[in-house]
Each structure stands twice: as structure tokens, then as C-alpha cells.
Structure 1
Amino acid sequence: MPMFSRKKQPPIKSLIAQGMRIEGDVHFVEGLRIDGVVAGNIRAGAEQPSILVISETARVEGMVHADHVIVNGQVIGTVHAAELLELQPKAQIEGDVHYKALEMHQGGTIAGQLFPTSVLAEQKPPLELASSRQ
């Protein structure tokens, strides 16, 4: 069973409202919703499950780290979703994304590379072509 079912998501206790601009890193626990602008990195505490919602009106300029990341706004930077990355129709990510599971709605865009964590964890040995052996 996945870490996040629709019923048992952490509560969203903090809000960066539309019209607000934060310059600097943001650290949070459990849930955070961003409707404004953050120029800095956003990181969830590792002690408990976390959810980050970047709404349609939001813009984040920096790295994002959380268990469950929902994007419907703009992110300029690397996104790390330890569990689930959800891209809504107006999502725009300019940067690489690291995720365990990815859900992408029509209209969402990623200008960067995709890195599923399950693939990175396997670390397969490099392939050796038979023709290169002597």
C-alpha cells in the first residue's frame, strides 16, 4: 500500500498566500500550500510524512524536497518527491525531477530530465558489448 492514500494525507498547516514573496529557504513539517512566490529552497522535515502544494498562482525559484509534491504553478529548480509527484494541468517545471511515482495531467510541462528513484536505486553494472571483448 502506498505511503499516501487519498484519506491519510498530512494536514496542510501552513500557507504562503498570494501576494506574498519570501526570499530565503523555507523549512516545514506536514503540509504547506504556496499561492505566492518563494525565491529559495523548500524542504520538508524528514521526521513525518509531508505534502507540498504549489498552486496555480505560485512560483518557486529553488529546489523542492517533500514526500508528496503537487504542482499546478511554476517551479524553476530541481524537484525531489520521495513518494509522489503530481503535475496538474497548469504545472510548469524548469529543472530535473526525482520521484518514486509520477502522475501527470494533460497540459503539465517539464523542461528537464526525469529520474525515477527506483531506477536510481538499482544501479545496474555498465553493459559490456560482446564485440568489445578480445
Structure 2
Amino acid sequence: MARPSAPSSSTFSVIGADVAIKGDVSASSELHVDGRIEGDIACESLVQGESSVIEGAISAETARLAGKVSGSITARQLVVLKSARVEGDVHYDALTIEQGAQVEGRFAHRMPSQRSTDKPAAPVASDDGEPKLTLAT
């Protein structure tokens, strides 16, 4: 039986705390990860739970990290919460880091030539070409 398709803006996928995946994960909309992934993740929007572990590269338009990540991260808008532990290089357009978050790696603002040309980028607040870094308290 065919399921009616919902608009991509209202769909999301959840990887529960009891799920472990070995292999790459791709999602066309929002992905919420509470479990463990050993592989690369490519999605529109990533939300990582505090108990989650991701071992692999992350590529997303927006990402909100709260758990452990071992691998490079590329995101247009990235939020690293205080419970997050990141080991790897971070490439971003806009970055917010809560006090207490731990990141071991290099930060690099993405230049226009490094951005994907597959999709038009959504406007970023105060996008004057300068890197945007916000420290949250």
C-alpha cells in the first residue's frame, strides 16, 4: 500500500538510542540521531542527542550537536551545545558554541567557492561576507 508523501519541510527521521548503524546515512530532510552511527552522514538538517555517538564525517545545511562526534563537520549553520564533544575539523558559514562544549580540531569559515552549487543557499542573517561566530552562554 502506497503512503502519501508529505512535504519535505515537515518530515524527519529518528535514529533511536537503541539503534547502532555501521555505514553511511543520507536523508533528504531532518535527521534526529540519539543512537550510534559509524559512517558518514549527509542530510539537510541534523539534530544530535546528548547520548549519541557519530564516528564519521557530517555534511548538513544546519546541524545542532549535543553528543560525541569523531570526524569532520561541514555545515552552513552549526550549533555546538555544551554537552557536545567534537574531535575533527569544522567548516561552517555561521557558528554558535555554548560555553562548556569541547572541540579538538580546526575551525574554518567556508569560502563561497567551497559551498555546494547543487542547491541555492538560504539567506544567513547579517551575511556581509565575514565569518560569523557566536558564543552562547
What TM-score range do you get, normalising by the shorter chain?
0.7 to 0.9
Cα RMSD (Å): 1.5
**1:6 matched residue in structure 2:** none
2:45 to 43, 46, 51: 51
- Contact 1:95–1:113 (Cα < 8 Å) also in 2: yes
**2:28 matched residue in structure 1:** 29
Q: Sequence identity of aligned pairs in percent?
A: 32
**1:15 matched residue in structure 2:** 14
4+ residue segments displaced more than 2 Å:
118-121
**2:5 matched residue in structure 1:** none
Q: Distance in 2 between matches of 1:109 and 1:119?
A: 27
Q: Distance in 2 between matches of 1:105 and 1:77?
A: 20
Distance change in 2, residues 1:15/1:103 (3 Å): same
Once the 2 structures are TM-superposed, how far is the Cα of residue 37 of structure 1 from its aligned partner? 0.1
Q: Highest Rg: 1 or 2?
A: 1
What SS class does the counterpart of residue 90 from structure 1 fall into?
coil
Q: Distance in 1 between matches of 2:47 and 2:22?
A: 18
1:108 to 101, 115, 131: 101
Q: Distance in 2 between matches of 1:32 and 1:57?
A: 15
Once the 2 structures are TM-superposed, how far is the Cα of residue 12 of structure 1 from its aligned partner? 5.1
**1:98 matched residue in structure 2:** 91
**1:40 matched residue in structure 2:** 39
**1:5 matched residue in structure 2:** none
What SS class does the counterpart of residue 89 from structure 1 fall into?
coil
**1:127 matched residue in structure 2:** none
**2:117 matched residue in structure 1:** none
Distance change in 2, residues 1:90/1:120 (3 Å): farther
Once the two structures are superposed, the pairs formed by residues 72-83 of structure 1 within 5 Å of their partners are 72-81=66-75, 83=76
Gaps in structure 2 of 5+ consecutive residues: 1-8, 115-137
Is 2:68 the counterpart of 1:71? no
**Number of residue pairs aligned between Structure 1 and Structure 2:** 106
1:2-36 Cα offsets, whole Å, 9 max, x none, are: xxxxxxxx445100000110000001011000000
Compute the TM-score of the two structures, normalised by the length of structure 1: 0.75
Gaps in structure 1 of 5+ consecutive residues: 1-9, 45-49, 122-134
